[in-house]
Structure formats: structure tokens, C-alpha cells
Amino acid sequence: MKKSPTLAEWKKLYEAVMKVKDIEPWLWLEEIDLFAVENPETRELGFVSVMGAIGEHYSIAVYLGEISLARFWHFQESESDDFSYQKLLEMRQLQASFEDRNFLHKDDRQIIKELSLTFRGRNEWPMFRKYEPGFYPWFINASEARFLTHALEQTVNVALRAEEDPSILLPDDDYSYLLRRKVKRGSSHVWQDDIWHESMIDPELVEPVVDMIALEKAKHLALRNVTVEVDLFMIPQPTLEEGSEPFYPYIIVLLETSHGMIVGHKVAPPLPDLESMQAKIPLLLLNIFSTISYVPAKIRVDSPLLYGLFEHLSEHLDITIEKVDKLQVAPEARASFLKFANR
């Protein structure tokens, strides 16, 4: 169990977020005006985004690590669709937002009470949450509170400077970021500017778990001359299992294209984390083959992630993996699942 913030750590965090609210950086910054902050404790990078330019929801997001940065840009560049909520919840981040009082949990209000703070009105109550990919937004721990405090303090520093000189947010080229890092200078530590260059990491590249026993079993199943579509998506209803924080289960669905019927599916919780679950998706597909007692000759996917995960199956089984721009029958099935989940 990770340690909760002390009252002193909460005090620093609330002081930092209220300084952000005082300067209202969303009046001149947009959410794509990112800069980086290095965590003094872990050296992990957080990419800070100021949200609120359209005047509806005010928050500061700190996207953790380069994979989350890549997912952020993928989200920004893609059109709104059935997967928009999923893309948002798959970005690992810390977030400080300003909410209505009734949106806060009783634990949030208790901390505010213990700090003798007072807030009134809409979009005035600070709330702090962490987003782990595939998990329900949850309370932050002590180390996260400390890093979020640093990020908010640096937001004030960078935002005020960017108001005078927006070019500081583009220090080199389109793939470079202003980086704020804490360094030792003499007997003290100070924050200074640096430049960080993006390495263009692909968040869709996940190394699959290869189960040779399951593959050998699949080789003995009948090969049927049918084409199937495989879809993987999140069910937007949080689930709680003992020993874990609330998460959103995923489901892998197999449909025959000739009649659009679902021939198999498996539920996959993002445990212990999303990438570990994704790596096991090929095994879940092989388990579906075992349940339906045949292997389809062709598998269609529209996801680079699934295509990369399934490629090795064609090396062991007499099947074709095809990447298409859009699936034909899966979207309707997905809509039915989501409609049922939201009832």
C-alpha cells in the first residue's frame, strides 16, 4: 500500500494549485502548448497541459512518460469516435482540476476542512487524481502529490514567461520541448531550463506473450475457410477486485463477417497493468479458437496494436492477418456492448 500524502504535503499542493488558479493560464495557453517537468525524485518526465481555453473545464494534466505523450498526440489528432473515452483513460497522468463541490469525494472535502480552506462556487474546488491506463481515476499518493506540486509550481513559472514570449515553448523544432529540471548549484538546488527531444516512440508496439502450448493445441483444430473480425475495447463501467484499484474491463470479440454474428469473446481486466493485459491478447484469442473448436482462415483487425500482437500467429498457423482501415461488422457489436454496459 503506497503512502498517502501528509497534511503538510497536501498544504503545499493546495497552495500550488491556487497559485495556478490565480494567474488563469488557460486565458493564453491551449492544451497542446506542452512543456516538460522532470521529477526530482525519479527523473521521470511529466508533460504539462493547461486545459480550460474554451471556458468549460479547468485543469492541469501531467502526462507521465513518453508513451503517454505519444498517446496524447494520437488523441489530439484523431476524430471523436466510440474509442475517445478509451483513449483518454489510457493516458497515464496526474491531474489537478477545479470542480463543483458535489463532484468531490468526501475524502477530498475532509482534507480541505483539515487545511481550513474555503472555496465557493462552480469550478472552484480543487481535486487531484491519478489516471493509470485502463483504471478508474483514483486518489494520489504521497510521491505523486510531491511531483504534482512541482509541476504546478513550474506551470506558474512557464505560463507567465510564455505569456510574454510564446516561443519559449518551441525551443528548437516541432519535436522539442522546454524542459524544467531541478539541478544542484553550489549548496542548493534550483530549477533551470533545458531542451528535451522527442524520440517518436510508438505506443501501439507491445511485445506479445507467445504460448507455444496453446499454439500447438490450435494446430490440431479444424481450419475453417471463413473470415472473422477481431475487436478489442474498454467497457466504461468500473469494476473492483480485491487488492486492486477500480479498473475498466476490456473485452475481445470475434465475429464472422458473413453474418455478423459474435462467435466468441473474452473479458480481459487490465491487470496488473494495461500493457501486461495487451501482451496476453493473442492467448485469449487462442482460447476462443479452442472454445469454438476451429481456427478461421483470415483475421481482420483495424487496430495497429492488434495487428502487431497477432502477426506471429500467422507464422505458426495457416492463417492470414489483415489490417483494414475500418471493420465491417464489429462496430455494431461494439455499440451493442456499450449500450448494454451503460444501462
Whether residue 316 lies inside any domain: the answer is yes
Q: Is the pLDDT of residue 204 over 70?
A: yes
Average pLDDT over residues 82-102: 92
What is the 8-class DSSP label of residue 92? Answer: -
Reply yes or no on whether the pLDDT at 1 is more than 70.
no
Q: Same domain, yes or no, for 182 and 47?
A: yes
Does the N-terminal peptide bond of residue 272 adopt cis geometry, omega within 30 degrees of 0? yes
Are 258 and 342 contacting, i.e. CB atoms less than 8 angstroms apart?
no
Q: Is 49 domain-assigned?
A: yes
Retrieve residue 297's grid coordinates. 482462415
Confidence of residue 175 (pLDDT cuts 50, 70, 90): confident
Task: State the angle between helix axes of 106-114 and 7-23 in degrees (0 to 180), rounded to the nearest 10.
Answer: 90
- The reply to whether 14 and 145 lie within a common domain is yes
Instruction: Tell me: do 16 and 157 sit in the same domain.
Output: yes
What's the sign of the alpha-carbon dihedral 197, 199, 204, 207? negative
pTM here is 0.92
Q: Domain check: are 184 and 246 in the same one?
A: no
Q: Are residues 287 and 216 in the same domain?
A: yes
Q: Check pLDDT > 80 for residue 69.
A: yes
The answer to whether residues 149 and 13 belong to one domain is yes
My answer on whether 136 and 252 are in the same domain is: no
- Residue 172: count of CB within 10 angstroms of its CB: 11
Domain count, the chain: 2
pLDDT per position as a tens digit, 236-294:
899 988 878 999 999 999 999 998 899 999 999 999 999 999 999 999 999 999 999 99
Sign of the four-CA dihedral 103, 64, 51, 119: positive
- 207 domain-assigned: no
First to last CA, the chain: 34
Any idea which residue has 501531467 for its cell?
62
pLDDT in tens, 257-272: 998 899 999 999 999 9
Phi and psi (nearest 5°) for 279?
-65, -25
Residue 46: alpha-carbon gap to chain centroid: 13
Pair 313, 282: CB distance under 8 Å? yes
Residues 229 and 182 in one domain: no
Q: For residues 62 and 68, give the distance between their C-alpha atoms in angstroms, rounded to a whole number.
A: 9
pLDDT at 26: 98
Domain that holds residue 99: 7-197
Q: Where are the alpha helices (DSSP H) in the chain?
A: 7-23, 65-77, 84-89, 106-114, 142-164, 212-219, 274-279, 281-292, 304-310, 313-316, 330-341
The one-letter code for the residue type at 20 is: V
Determine the 3-state secondary structure of 179 from DSSP. Answer: strand
Give Cα separations from 305 to 192, 205, 281, 311 (angstroms): 38, 6, 10, 10
Phi, psi of 112 (to 5 degrees): -60, -40
> Among residues 197, 229, 252, which one ends one of the domains?
197
Longest dimension (CA), the chain: 73
pLDDT band, residue 41 (cuts 50/70/90): very high
Residue 90, amino acid: E
Residue 81 has pLDDT above 80, yes or no: no
Is the pLDDT at 171 greater than 90? The verdict is no
Residue 327 has pLDDT above 90, yes or no: yes
Mean pLDDT, the chain, rounded, equals 94
Shared domain for 229 and 267, answered yes or no, is: yes
Question: Which three-class secondary structure state does DSSP give residue 267?
Answer: strand
In eight-state DSSP terms, residue 138 is: B
